[in-house]
Amino acid sequence: MFIHVFNGLVYGALLIVMCSGLALIYGLRRVVNFAHGSLYMLGAYLGYTIATQTNFWVALIAAPAIMALLGVLLDRFGFRLLQDREPLTVVLVTFGLLLVIEDVVQTVWGKGNLSLQAPALLNTSIELFGTAVPAYRIAVIVVGAAVALGLSLWLRYSNIGLFVRAASTDPTTTAMQGVNTDLLSAGVVGLGTALAGLAGVVAAPFLALSPSMSSDVLIDSFVVVVIGGLGSLAGAFIAAVLLGMMQTLGAVYLPDAAAVLPFALMVAVLLWKPAGLAGSRT
């Protein structure tokens, strides 16, 4: 029982890192980024290459940094130019981007599965409540918690965090108050993309690298942000842990229905509250 709850927490932590990026980008640009799963995959593969050339810790820093740069470019030459278009149009552009990234990854790294070793330091197991659990997975939970806590504190207490919250609520008024919302958006989209990359690198040692890794996580992340309320970080954190638990506990106790459970939950939540659990805006 404990090990299943533990694994649920691990997957939940990964989803937290993914979904905080999705929610941040949605908050500022009102874009549901269909390419987010592909960015995660790209981050994982970049991390794989960097880790095999140097070591895991370099990859953990370098891959998200490269992804952040990519995110800033995406905002500057993508979302910013399209900000007056209908939201659905921009969604379709991100869908086009998804196809391009998938192809790039398959061309560069091939279609087979790759695997990355956990760093030596974490490649042990630790006794927890009488069960031996891999240290690496504990580290994943720590990363997820750190991202959740760090983002919450940053948004709550820093000046830039205040601007981000203001721009998410009303970009026009925020711009009139003298905040450079374009610069802010570039930064936030960069951060969101870096978080997708970070999730990819973190996931690489415990989920296999394959070209199909993006769609599984993308759909789970969508379920999370929709259940939590689009653009709401707190909602996404709660929904991520909930979904992680549901996935692992469901796979053990309700194997027939496990795959469908998250979607059933999403459908139920949307019908009950179309704006999601924490969302007042859609």
Does 75 bind another protein (CB under 8 A)? Our answer is: no
Between the two ends of the chain, the Cα-to-Cα distance in Å is: 37
Please identify which residue in 3, 66, 73, 82 interacts with another protein, judged by CB under 8 A. Answer: 82
Does 110 bind another protein (CB under 8 A)? Our answer is: no
Please state the closest distance from residue 229 (CB atom) to another protein, in A.
Answer: 10
Does 96 bind another protein (CB under 8 A)? Our answer is: yes
Does 226 bind another protein (CB under 8 A)? Our answer is: yes
Give 262-273 as a DSSP string.
Answer: HHHHHHHHHHH-
Does 264 bind another protein (CB under 8 A)? Our answer is: yes
Please identify which residue in 60, 266, 277, 278 interacts with another protein, judged by CB under 8 A. Answer: 266
Which residues ranging from 32 to 71 are in contact with another protein (CB under 8 A)? 32
Phi then psi for residue 133, to 5 deg, are -125, 145
Q: What does R_g of the chain's alpha carbons equal in angstroms? A: 18
Contact of 15 with 227, CB cutoff 8 Å: no
From CA 181, how far away is CA 277, in angstroms rounded?
28
Please state the closest distance from residue 27 (CB atom) to another protein, in A.
Answer: 13
One-letter amino acid at 167 equals A
From CA 200, how far away is CA 180, in angstroms rounded?
30
**Span of 63-71, 99-107, 176-184, 185-193 interacting with another protein by CB under 8 A:** 99-107
Q: Which is nearer to another protein, 73 or 82 (CB)?
A: 82
Please identify which residue in 112, 120, 129, 271 interacts with another protein, judged by CB under 8 A. Answer: 271
Give 161-196 as a DSSP string.
Answer: HHHHHHHHH-HHHHHHTT--HHHHHHHHHHHHHHHH
Please identify which residue in 124, 252, 260, 280 interacts with another protein, judged by CB under 8 A. Answer: 260
Please state the closest distance from residue 266 (CB atom) to another protein, in A.
Answer: 5
Does 1 bind another protein (CB under 8 A)? Our answer is: no
Q: Which is nearer to another protein, 54 or 106 (CB)?
A: 106
Does 170 bind another protein (CB under 8 A)? Our answer is: no
Q: Is the dihedral of CA 78, 44, 144, 271 positive or negative?
A: positive
